[in-house]
Amino acid sequence: MDPELEQRGIAVIRGLAMDAPMRAKSGHQGTAMALAPLAHVLFTRIMRYDAAAPGWPDRDRFVLSAGHASILLYSMLHLTGFGLTERDLEDFRQWGSATPGHPEVHHTAGVEVTTGPLGQGVANAVGMAIAEANLRARFGADVVDHHTFVIAGDGCMEEGISHEAASLAGHLGLGRLVMVYDDNHITIDGPTELAFTDDTAARFRAYGWDVHEIGAVADDLDAIEAGIRAAMAVADKPSLVVLRSHIAFPSPKFTDSAKAHGNPFDEAEIRVTKEVLGLPPDEAFFLPDDVVAAYRQAGAAGRDARLAWEARLAEATAGGAAPELDAVLGGTGLTGWAEKLPTFAPGESIATRTASGACLAAIADVVPGIMSGGADLTENTNTVLPGEAPFGPDAHAGRLLHFGVREHAMAATMNGMALHGGIVPVGGTFFVFSDYMRPAVRLAALSRARVIFVWTHDSVGVGEDGPTHQPVEHLASLRAMPGLHVLRPADANETAQAWRLAIEHDGPTALVLSRQNLPVLEGTAGGDGVRRGAYVLLDPPDGPADLVLLATGSEVALCVDAAAALAEAGIRARVVSFPSWDRFEREPDDYRAAVLPAGTPVLSVEAGVTFGWARWSDDAIGIDRFGASAPGAVVLAELGLTVDHVAARATALVRAKEAR
């Protein structure tokens, strides 16, 4: 691109960065203005992509971790031809627009991940780099050969998740990850020095990153390009490029001001800044034809590379020669993969976490996209891939990931791996530590990222570790999260069905599993009960049920035993296993009515808070307090999870109905 045209293009980007927040009366223009030259360099000189094919698997990935600067990304997506229109830019932050306040994957073509909560994009980019490294090591550079670029700001560097993710990336030697740190010294409250005086470059060197401090060159296109290319040349380490910028440049009034962070400029300041930039001061959304044409040419520059890649892929997979590669790229298992899932004989006693491990081991070879591991709890959560080498600094082909004690980064990197494509990430920890993961779990749900969270030690049955390690409110809180597929299986056979659903699901799945052994129940193998969310496991043989015992997970077996005790007292009980609220909610009314008949009292039983159960049951046995340190069976008994207590409450519910 001609140098004069480049400068005019950067001025146009800065104009859009002011105009869209002004039109919306909301938004962050300062960072977008400062980083317009960086975005220009990335999208016109560095990155390999084809705007006409935004889903090309071997494209470079771009992550805007500083998601508040979304207008910068939207401007580039419009200019380079991803399909965003001028009207989309004008509708910035409006209802139904393609340009929401923070970038959302699947909502806007060209947006790779959903960013906004600071630091998440850093970890997402680490996950993308893990996926690229693994797939390249397994299938070769002819098929997988790209970089991941991320822009992060001071807020990203302050959030703890960036520390976790950067430490992991440095350890793993992710050489195709390049992060540009926008060191602008400004946060919303004022100068970063109010709360942040880290030596960021030294910190990243300590993590094992290659660091390039290129200084105050935010408007020097050649210097920016040279810094990024030097980082790209480092093959065995992730790279940090530290760029000193000036927020809101070249605004005469707001350059280097905290007021430029999140407050749109007034008309007078936009006018004078446009005069400095050489833009028409009274024209909003100025998009001269020659500038747009030049950017569209840049957006199409990767077309030949894409076509060459497609030809190589066709050759590699001709005649079904590479079924694993086909499955990985398609996000599927090999033909007949689900038939590999085990079944378990009634009467066996096995923890659902153990059954889960058996399922994972059984399908690892036939679902080749799986990468699995845990947050220093790989064996405890049974997320080991037997015989599989660990993914490490010198072994990127391995599919077993040791995340270390980094639950938050584990979840966020899993999101990046899934959204990269080709990987079905599985990550395990104790259920109580889902609290550490929650921000990333929420973004997984918002992004429809196809990840599998394996959460074990799912109740006060954990025992002696005490209330700090005993989840009680977690099921209720995660069921409240839109888009999260939550499954708490009753036994080993339901666990196998849950794994099938998790692999088939098009969003995030939570498998909530027991530490303690549970009996394999009659009637849980086969059928589609887990798929439908709830089903009748046991019906009285001698007439209609007097009540329904409704339970999840380990409490289903408890209810089976309670039903037997009630039968001896002349009360007929139906037992319903309820592994997934969200699946049952989507079932037709007639199916739900058949499982939970109108007029039949329902008692729910679950080793967690009773919050939410009023929707499904007339009475609820649960744990509306924190647990206690004692052997698991003792804690469960002391808190009312016993056959006698269930039978007594069920009897009272039936008698109350009879008395009405």
The two tokens of residue 393 are 């600094």
Residue 120 near residue 65, CB atoms below 8 Å: yes
- Alpha helices, DSSP H, located in 577-640: 581-585, 589-595, 632-638
> Which candidate, 78, 147, 145, places its Cα nearest to that of 111?
78
The two tokens of residue 301 are 């520059």
15 vs 9: CA distance, rounded Å: 10
520 vs 390: CA distance, rounded Å: 32
Helix (H) or strand (E) holding 349: strand 349-351
Residue 275 near residue 281, CB atoms below 8 Å: yes
Helix (H) or strand (E) holding 420: helix 407-420
For 280, list phi and psi in degrees, rounded to 5: -60, 115
Question: Coil, strand, or helix at residue 365?
Answer: coil
The two tokens of residue 322 are 């590479």
636 vs 322: CA distance, rounded Å: 51
Burial class (CB in 10 A: 0-12, 13-18, 19+), 653: buried
> Which candidate, 156, 126, 154, 162, places its Cα nearest to that of 237?
126
Token pair 């046991």 is at which residue? 538
526 sits in the region (left: phi over 0; alpha: psi -120 to 50; else beta) called left
> Which candidate, 205, 225, 272, places its Cα nearest to that of 44?
225
Residue 402 near residue 429, CB atoms below 8 Å: no
146 vs 530: CA distance, rounded Å: 40
Residues designated as active site = 407
> Which candidate, 80, 64, 60, 71, places its Cα nearest to that of 98?
71
Length of the chain: 660
- Cα 423–424–426 angle (5° rounding)? 125
- Cα 461–462–466 angle (5° rounding)? 110
> Which candidate, 491, 492, 334, places its Cα nearest to that of 424?
334
476 vs 483: CA distance, rounded Å: 14
Residues 6+ apart with CB under 8 A from 377: 383, 428, 429, 430, 456
Which residues are registered as beta bridge partners of 555? none
